[in-house]
Structure 1
Amino acid sequence: MEQALFDDLVQSLKEARAMKRGEMPASRRITVATPDTKAVREQIGLSQSEFAQLMQVSVKTLQNWEQHRRNPTGPAAALLKIVRTAPDMALKTLRD
């Protein structure tokens, strides 16, 4: 490995450690907004139990999302965005 590349990697690790300790701010921060689960469910007109079944989660999990005690992550968050953006196609695909 080239010395310059190695030095850059070491510097990056030092900066990451300083950020983790709160000694320096992160140079950028990315946040991903998750759609409001209740609004999406109401948009397509399903009950909690119907929507939970469609999303393949428990009703309790759906209620936690709707009451903002928990947030959907990963595939669930992506699926919510798809349902919000293209509800007809999403419902047709998920019900087949």
Structure 2
Amino acid sequence: MTGYAVKHSIRAEDIRILRKKLKLTQKDFAKLVNVSQKTIERWESENRDITGPVTTLVHILNEYPQIEENLRVPEKEYPIRLWYMFKSEICTIIDVDERGRKVKIYNYTNNFIKKAFGRNEKPTFEEYEEFLESRCFPRQRDKIKLVLEDLNLPFYDPFMIIEKTEGRMAEDDFWIRIER
């Protein structure tokens, strides 16, 4: 292999142009590229070559600016937000209104196996409830009262169980963080 068609270095102006193209503040751009705001300030103020992985990232974002929008985490739409994770990777964000029985999802992966609802982009509230139950031990489990007692739960409720267990299962690396 001979190499890649990516610049080895970029300049302050390249960063500024991209940031303005994406309509991001220095703070927001820093979050996107996983560096401190001070680093962005330094990159934009110094007149020297900037090297490292950010050069490839700037190239990709210039060619495919929609990636920034695809990665953006929206404001919480409903009272409850679940973060469906694979190890440390955000796979799906699920906003839930239990009273209104509404669900809205945001997928951050193209891998259907990692998406909370697979190919289903608009799950119903019933499908959300089925998903929660799929991340818990079975209702018919032997000696379930002892398991619930260990979790300090009065009855079988998938949401309450996930609050305690993070929906972790012995056979996979998926888990759920709940935000109220």
- The alignment status of 1:82 with 2:50, answered yes or no, reads no
Higher relative contact order (CA 8 A, sep 6+): 1
* TM-superposition CA deviations, 1:42-90 (whole Å, max 9, x none): 0000111011011100111101111135543221111011111110034
Q: Structure 1 runs of 4+ off > 2 angstroms?
A: 68-72, 93-96
Q: Using the alignment, how far apart are the partners of 2:61 and 2:72 within structure 1?
A: 10
Structure with the bigger percentage of helix: 1
TM-score normalised over the length of structure 2: 0.32
Q: Using the alignment, how far apart are the partners of 2:60 and 2:37 within structure 1?
A: 20
Unaligned runs of 5+ residues in structure 1 are 1-30
Larger Cα-atom Rg? 2
- Of 10, 27, 41, the residue aligned with 1:34 is 10
Q: How many residues of Structure 1 are paired with residues of Structure 2 in the alignment? A: 66
Percent sequence identity over aligned pairs: 30
Distance 1:59 1:69, change over 3 A: farther
Unaligned runs of 5+ residues in structure 2 are 1-6, 74-107, 109-180
1:89 counterpart SS class: helix
Distance 1:63 1:34, change over 3 A: same
